Amino acid sequence: MWMLYVLAGLLVLAAMSAGLALGLHLLAPGKSEARRIMLAAGITTVLPMSIAFGGFLSEADVADSDFMISLAALSVTTLAVFSVCCLPAAWFATTRLGRSDEAPPAIETVEPELIEG
């Protein structure tokens, strides 16, 4: 049962990343695609992981020998969430939106010739 909760959480992160990529596509069209992808995925990763880092750092004993191992594990988890959940969703949303701008028009417009008379 807990596996469904983990899967639902990962899907929510992917949806948040794609939604933020859509928002950046609409609100910041002047930025490059790579910058929008990295920004959307980065913000989506940092928001939930800041809760984990905050809880860890507020309760951790810095003098303990396991402090650095635990901090490294949190950092690797953050990198995994970024690269597996958030980055592909932001990339997919941004590249799909980028293709729609380059699509040919559905109806060709022909300039009428001027009738001289």
User: Stretch 5-29: mean pLDDT, rounded?
Assistant: 92
Residue 56 inside a domain? The answer is: yes
Between 100 and 112, whose confidence is greater? 112
- pLDDT confidence tier of residue 30, bands split at 50, 70 and 90: confident
Residue 92 inside a domain? The answer is: yes
Residue 29 inside a domain? The answer is: yes
Which helix (H) or strand (E) covers residue 9, if one does? helix 2-27
Number of domains comprising the chain: 1
The confidence score (pLDDT) of residue 102 equals 55
Cα 3 to Cα 24: distance, rounded to the nearest angstrom: 32
Structural domain range at position 48? 13-98
How confident is the prediction for the chain on average, in pLDDT?
86
CA torsion, ordered 16, 37, 30, 107, to nearest 10 deg: -80
SS3 assignment for 51-109: HHHHHHHHHCCCCCCCHHHHHHHHHHHHHHHHHHHHHHHHHHHHHHHHHHHHCCCCCCC
User: Stretch 18-32: mean pLDDT, rounded?
Assistant: 90
Percent of the chain with pLDDT over 70: 84
Tell me which residue has tokens 């490294």: 72
Residue 21 inside a domain? The answer is: yes
**What DSSP state is assigned to residue 28?**
-
Length of the chain measured in residues: 117
